[in-house]
Amino acid sequence: MDNLLVILRRPPYGVINAAEAVRHAGGASGSDYRATLYLIDSGVFTAKKGQDAGDTGFTGLAESLELLSEEMEIYAHRQSLEEYNLTEDDLVEGVRIDDGERLRQAVKEAQAVMIF
């Protein structure tokens, strides 16, 4: 089974990057890939509970992440969470916190890496 690492660096609203990252990771996990989704920088906001997209024209992705966490590994970068004053309690269920070690390992194991 091939490993796919999807790294999301952009916020969930204002650009389509977050939706595309979640779509690609979810699609890969439904195929013959072992997918890992890694949230870093402002991408950590994608996993924040209780998001309200308001009139942005974007859909909240937190609930999708919670469902996908049953099929794949989803990580949030600890330093990025701290930078944006988020804690593990702010995140939806199933998102794991990583200090960077899992990211290093996932990069080594991946046959493909997608960065959004």
Dump pLDDT digits (tens) for 57-106: 777 788 888 889 988 999 999 999 999 999 999 999 999 999 999 999 99
Pairing mode of beta strands 33-39, 2-8: parallel
Per-residue pLDDT tens for 12-64? Answer: 888 899 999 999 999 988 788 899 999 999 999 999 998 877 777 777 788 88
CATH architecture of the domain with residue range 2-51+58-115: 3-Layer(aba) Sandwich (3.40)
Query: What is this structure's pTM?
Result: 0.92
d(CA 109, CA 83): 28
Residues whose CB falls within 8 Å of the CB of residue 58, separated by 6 or more in sequence, listed in order: 12, 13, 14, 19
Residue 64's pLDDT is 87
